[in-house]
């Protein structure tokens, strides 16, 4: 495989990263952002027969985001960068609010390949880089495995590489598997980290993960839900099923129909949250979101979920699916985010790539 070129901003011999600090806490997604990071789509096999529409969906995402924060876009090569500029221009995007960076990627799921930000005690931002193995499902991820470092380089922020608390080996995680209220509470699923078939960190147990979450994310309490939704390609990410909307409110994707395959796991997740609420200082309010009716492609059920929304500085971007339940989901989230515009983004084609809005985005919190 041809080695990846270094970034031109860091000449040979120059230090690649600032000195990383210690401590810090994973802030809630609704805390102020400096920027949102994305990777422009280019890997057509991720959307078989649908790829032509995907850049236009991206342009709509960027159009909404760039009104209130910078948008930093990784472009895998010159052709991809030119395509991004052409499509964004067609959407009337102000390119003074968008920066296009030449950074090779394999796929575009920046939530998972990118780093996770923590806020240090003095307010400064530091990135935590997890080891990325493409959800233990794909072989071509060498470029994505370097995305966290590239983002740190481009922004000039310090970065820490997470290691397992038991062995010191790189800790394999993805950002789509963790959800926080910004006050030390974290949501994860057992399917993601503890199921017998998971191959991220073999041998690492529940207590070991909780030590890692405390060390790298400042987490005081981890709430373990059960499973994610049907069709989830990541084997258990939380961001399709449960999200915080404020320090004490969790919105849960819940399927009321007992005949639907999502009913049992979502009912189990609700029971787990209800139990956990008794032990969280101040308690938890649980609000349910519907699932859309099953979105099928070539006989495969896709992970369509309104819970895969993204909270920006002045907007909440919500995937929609041409479904009668779209309105219910948008109205529920509008009530939970009264100071932000709630914007539906058409995601029927996007979800064919087995992810939607939260999977594509990674927030960089604002520094003081």
Structure pTM?
Answer: 0.94
Q: Are 326 and 291 in contact (CB under 8 A)?
A: no
CATH number of 33-365: 2.60.120.10, 3.10.20.30, 3.75.10.10, 3.40.50.2030?
Answer: 3.75.10.10
Is residue 359 annotated as part of the catalytic site, yes or no? yes
pLDDT tens-digit map of 57-85: 999 999 999 999 999 999 999 999 999 99
Cβ-in-10-Å burial (0-12, 13-18, 19+) of 269 comes to buried
Letter string b/e over residues 181-193, b meaning 16 or more CB atoms within 10 A of that residue's CB: bbbbbbbbbebbb
pLDDT tens-digit map of 219-251: 999 999 999 999 999 999 999 999 999 999 999
Angle at CA of residue 238, ends 284 and 43, nearest 5°: 150
> Which pLDDT does position 18 carry in this prediction?
55
pLDDT tens-digit map of 310-342: 999 999 999 999 999 999 999 999 999 999 999
Helix axes 78-90, 54-65, angle to 10 degrees: 60
Task: Kindly name the residue from 359, 361, 363, 364 that is annotated as catalytic.
Answer: 359
pLDDT tens-digit map of 127-173: 999 999 999 999 999 999 999 999 999 999 999 999 999 999 999 99
Instruction: Band the pLDDT of 353: cuts 50, 70, 90.
Output: very high
Show me where the domains of the chain are located: 33-365
Q: Which of 10-19, 253-262, 303-312, 321-330 has the lowest mean pLDDT?
A: 10-19
Asked whether residue 6 carries a pLDDT value surpassing 60, the answer given is no
54 vs 305: CA distance, rounded Å? 18
Full strand arrangement of the beta sheet holding 221-225 = 179-180, 185-189, 221-225
Asked whether residue 10 carries a pLDDT value surpassing 80, the answer given is no
Q: Are 367 and 124 in contact (CB under 8 A)?
A: yes
> Which pLDDT does position 20 carry in this prediction?
53
């Amino acid at each position: 495989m041809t080695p990846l070129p270094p970034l031109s901003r860091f000449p040979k011999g120059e230090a690649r990263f600032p000195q990383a600090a210690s401590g810090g806490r994973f802030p809630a997604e609704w805390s102020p952002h400096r920027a949102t990071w994305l990777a422009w789509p280019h890997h057509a096999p991720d959307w078989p027969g649908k790829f032509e529409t995907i850049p236009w969906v991206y342009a709509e995402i960027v159009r909404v985001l760039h009104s209130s924060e910078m948008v930093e876009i990784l472009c895998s090569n010159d052709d991809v960068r030119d395509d991004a500029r052409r499509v964004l221009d067609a959407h009337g995007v102000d390119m003074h609010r968008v920066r296009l960076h030449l950074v090779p990627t394999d796929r575009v799921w920046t939530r998972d390949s990118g780093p996770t930000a923590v806020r240090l005690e003095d307010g400064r931002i530091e990135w935590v880089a997890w080891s990325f193995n493409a959800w233990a499902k794909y072989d071509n991820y060498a470029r994505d495995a370097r995305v966290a470092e590239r983002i740190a380089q481009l922004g000039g922020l310090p970065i820490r590489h997470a290691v397992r608390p038991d062995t010191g080996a790189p800790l394999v995680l993805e950002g789509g598997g963790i959800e926080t209220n910004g006050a030390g509470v974290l949501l994860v699923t057992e399917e993601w980290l503890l199921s017998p078939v998971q191959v991220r960190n073999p041998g690492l147990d529940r207590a070991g993960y909780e030590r890692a979450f405390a060390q790298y994310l400042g987490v005081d309490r981890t709430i373990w839900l059960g499973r994610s939704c049907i069709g989830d390609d990541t084997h258990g990410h939380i961001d399709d099923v449960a999200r915080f909307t404020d320090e004490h409110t969790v919105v849960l994707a819940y399927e009321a129909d007992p005949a639907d395959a999502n009913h049992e796991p979502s009912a189990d997740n609700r029971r787990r949250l209800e139990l956990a609420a008794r032990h969280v200082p101040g308690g938890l309010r649980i609000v349910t979101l519907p699932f859309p009716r099953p979105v099928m492609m070539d006989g495969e059920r896709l992970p369509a979920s309104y819970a895969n929304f993204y909270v920006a500085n002045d907007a909440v971007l919500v995937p929609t699916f041409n479904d009668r339940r779209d309105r219910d989901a948008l109205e529920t989230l509008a009530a939970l985010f009264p100071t932000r515009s709630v914007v539906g983004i058409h995601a029927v084609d996007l979800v064919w790539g087995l992810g939607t809005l939260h999977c594509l985005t990674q927030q960089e919190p604002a520094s003081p």
